[in-house]
Structure 1
Amino acid sequence: MQTMAQAIYIHDFAVLCALGSDTETVRRNLLAPAPPRVSGTWTLTDGRTAPVGAVTIAAQPNDPDSRCNAMADRCLAGIDPALWNVADKSRLAVVMGTSSCGLLENGAAFQRRLADGAWPPSFRLAIQEFGNVAAHIANRVGATGPTYGISTACTSGAKALASGARLIQSGMADVVIAGGFDALCDLTLNGFSSLEALADGVSNPFSVNRRGINLGEGGALFVLSAEPSPIRLAGWGESADAYHISAPDPEGNGAEAAMREALVRAGLKPENIGYLNLHGTGTKLNDLMEARAVNRVFGDMLPCSTTKPLTGHMLGAAGAGEAAFTIMALQAGRLPGNAWDGERDPEMPPIRLVKPEGEATDGRAAMSCSYAFGGNNIALILEVAR
């Protein structure tokens, strides 16, 4: 692995999640001294109620047939269209991460068929294809360059950014719209419930009392190119340890490899990183392995926090959304706090968690990490000009 030969820049981004349905509301709530935590609920098939991070978006007359695509439209509306108005649309690419696009709508359609014996007139199986969100965005912006989806579970959105950067570096595109979207649905919620991974309250990451995950929905879009701007995708690292289909490597070796590769690609040392956005799901296994990996790479001095108690785990959109949160923190010079009960797990190596009310920072570079089922891992390094 060598330092990146060609710099990749982010010219604008938009995000929506449980913290807000537009970028500025998300920014304000994320960096507030007492940010709102997940407050939505979802009723599971066994009758229990699970906390979720739900997005509030008012229905529009011309909404597409998928909640993921509707959220993508909201984000597109928050970005200056001049940024993708390239003369040659074959040089404009779209890469989107997702893990559950269309499942909400198609699940309802299957229920209708079971009840009525016929599909609803609006039923369209294609909205469940992993490339559907990317194709929807490409149609909206007129892109005819490479257009595809990435579905690697919880790393999907972050991998879309790395994939978009590679398209530019390879000469296949000049501008890339990259990001990820996922919507809450019965299949996902009940699937995580069957794994006994859902928390019955707001998640409590890195605490000895942590009891599981909250799920959420949302997403983010980024416009990438090689033209300089104040925000840079400085590096990324990816690994696949294939330890288990759903459980992480308990030692965090794949997570460590991804972080170290990102540092090398960015030409940075651990001490150059001013903040780490943790994956931080609040499950027993994830938080323990992540603390081990972070401690080996950064020791116990780097400020770290996870934003999942505020948004829920947005699954395939998490890596994109949290990259946006990381940029917001660097731009504002303020780190989001780690929302937890403050009771450390003695089994965990020490890491330096940000105070719940947040902290100031003068750092220029930060890392955001995502880890997923199947043992695939990614670390992004974002950098802002000061």
Structure 2
Amino acid sequence: MKPLLLTHFTATSCLGRGLDATLAALRAGHGGLARCDFEDVILDTWVGAVDGVDAQPVRADLADFECRNNRLAQIGLNQDDFAGHVERAVARHGVERIGVFIGTSTSGILETERAYQRRDPATGALPGGFHYAETHNTYSAAAFVRAYFGLRGPAMAISTACSSGAKVFAAARRMIEAGLIDAAVVGGVDSLCLTTLYGFNSLELLSRQPCRPFDTARDGISIGEAAAFALLERTSDAPLADNAILLLGVGESSDAHHMSSPHPQGLGARMAIEQALASAGLDANAIDYINLHGTATPSNDAAESRAVTALFDGTPCSSTKGATGHTLGAAGALEAVISALALRDQQLPAGINTTQVDPMLAPLDYVLTSRAARVGVVLSNSFGFGGTNCSLVLARAGHAHL
């Protein structure tokens, strides 16, 4: 595939708002997980909540979109001058030539949960001010971002569980390559809600400690929330700056092994990785760092380790979910941005909370302490329920492999 330029990118999570806060936390080995005190949840678990989300309503002209998920999206869009970069892209391309592709798992379902708590006791009717289409509907996040910038190009929400925020890059690439658009706002937004917390608890997947991906004592996930975005554009004929970040390759697969468990040998994951390398035109030895999906459940980490070690030999890797929690539909976008930061700032991010890598997993060069390194090409993995897998290859423009 022809490389696409990440003109700009941003991330907001429990690590903080914007790239500087994210990078500072990862460099220092500080995670953002805390004991769960969300709403009235009674669960012994840890979550990655973004501070102050409920204190900032959405823009007045978009009041029908009012919900935690869209408030979080708005906070994310206003970090690192991302909104300004989108506005300048509009000036270059026009509102009809910029697409919007947003990944989410549950969108604004919290608003529906709250609405059901306020039903009319006599009729059971939901509150009159409840706006399902603009809040709970999966398309809500994409519609909100599109309306926020006044864009009129193609827009879609992608909800493939935990690969949603990575698959938006693939969807945008296809539309750009088809000539339907010239640029795209891609990203992922998922916010805390009762459904995911109690749902994952019913699956016995929540850890009672901050999650520890690939650790010998790992025992489940910590749920987080995040809003992460990137602006994708065609590369021009003009020379790129050496530190420009490119989307080189995308790989997708659907192994459909089981609704909630990965293929034990990681076959679907391996297919996605192989496709991403092939579309980038690179061999496995060109990858300098792998941002693992790494959910911290025993079966997921074991399956991913088998997929990775079948293709790579000693490539540094880590899962950053120990710092951010698993942000579900936003995870792929958040971790793509973290991968872009690794390229931009020549840093390998540590797998925070992991202290002893499980010796029963296939051997991995797991990064336990963030460190400076020459990072030219990065692979970012995102694998979702039902075997919906996606891997991205990102690169620094001035790298020798390119």
1:329 maps to a residue whose letter is A
Worse overlay, 62-71 or 323-332: 62-71
Distance 2:276 2:162 in 1: 18
Worse-superposed segment, 133-142 or 182-191: 133-142
- Does residue 1:319 correspond to 2:319, yes or no? no
User: 1:289 corresponds to which letter in structure 2?
Assistant: A
**Cross-structure match for 1:57:** 52
Q: CA deviation at 1:27?
A: 2.0
- Backbone CA RMSD of aligned residues: 1.8
| Aligned equivalent of 1:123 | 130
- Matching of residue 240 in structure 1 with residue 254 in structure 2: yes
What is the match of residue 223 of structure 1? 231
Aligned letter for 1:82?
A: R
Aligned match of 1:30: 26
Identify which range, 156-165 or 50-59, moves more after superposition: 50-59
Q: Give the equivalent residue in structure 2 for 1:342.
A: 355
Contact 2:295 2:321 in 1 (8 A): yes
CA displacement at 1:44 relative to structure 2: 9.3
Note if contact 1:9-1:233 (Cα within 8 Å) is conserved in structure 2: yes
Would you say the 8 A contact 1:43–1:50 is kept in 2?
no
Deviation at 1:341, TM superposition (A): 4.4
1:1-386 mapped onto 2 (5 Å cutoff): 4=1, 6-32=2-28, 34-42=29-37, 47-57=42-52, 59-60=55-56, 62-63=58-59, 64-78=65-79, 79=82, 80=84, 81-113=87-119, 117-126=124-133, 127-228=135-236, 230-299=244-313, 301-355=314-368, 357-386=369-398
C-alpha separation in 2, matches of 1:326 and 1:46: 33
Q: Check whether the contact 2:58–2:74 (CA below 8 A) recurs between aligned residues.
A: no
Q: Which amino acid aligns with 2:285?
A: E
Matches of 2:17 and 2:359 in 1, distance apart?
Answer: 38
**Runs of at least 5 residues in structure 2 that lack an aligned partner in the other structure:** 60-64
Q: Which amino acid aligns with 1:293?
A: A
Whole-angstrom distance in 1 between the partners of 2:94 and 2:169: 22
2:27–2:371 Cα contact (<8 Å) kept: no
- In structure 1, stretches of 5+ residues that fail to align are none
Deviating more after overlay: 244-253 vs 205-214? 205-214
Deviations 1:267-309 (A, max 9, x none): 111111100000111001001001111100102x100001111
User: What amino acid maps onto 1:15 in structure 2?
Assistant: A
Q: Is the 8 A contact 2:98 2:181 kept in 1?
A: yes
1:104: Cα distance to partner? 1.0
In 2: Cα distance, 1:47 partner to 1:72 partner: 27
Cα contact 2:26–2:370 (8 A) shared by 1: no
Q: Say if 1:271 and 1:61 are closer, same or farther in 2 by CA, change over 3 A.
A: closer
Paired residues of 1:240 and 1:375 also in contact (CA < 8 A): yes
Alignment coverage as a number of residue pairs: 379
**1: CA distance between counterparts of 2:120 and 2:307?**
47
Question: Does the CA-based 8 Å contact 1:238-1:378 persist in structure 2?
Answer: yes
- Structure 1 counterpart of 2:371, one-letter code: E
The secondary structure found in structure 2 opposite 1:339 is coil
Contact 2:348 / 2:373 at 8 angstroms: preserved in 1? Answer: yes
In structure 2, how many angstroms separate the alpha carbons of the residues matched to 1:218 and 1:100?
A: 12
Identity in percent: 38
Change beyond 3 A, Cα 1:75–1:343: closer
Structure 1 residues 335 and 133: alpha-carbon distance in aligned structure 2, compared to 1, 3 A threshold: same
Kindly provide the CA deviation profile for residues 152-176 of structure 1, in whole angstroms up to 9, marking residues without a partner as x: 0000010011111111011010111
Contact 1:31 1:329 in 2 (8 A): no
Name the stretch that deviates more: 123-132 or 74-83. 74-83
Which secondary structure state, in structure 2, belongs to the residue aligned with residue 85 of structure 1? helix
Which whole-Å CA distance do the structure 1 matches of 2:271 and 2:381 have between them? 12
Q: What's the secondary structure of 1:31's corresponding residue? A: helix
Q: Secondary structure at the match of 1:208?
A: coil
Write the distance in 2 (CA, Å) between the matches of 1:87 and 1:354.
41
Change (3 A) 1:35 1:343: same
Question: Does 35-44 or 210-219 show the bigger shift?
Answer: 35-44
Which amino acid letter does the alignment assign opposite residue 271 of structure 1? N
**Mapped contact 1:330–1:361 kept (Cα < 8 A):** no
Equivalent position of 2:62 in the other structure: none
SS of residue paired to 1:345: coil
Q: Tell me how far apart the structure 2 counterparts of residues 77 and 345 of structure 1 sit (CA, whole Å).
A: 40
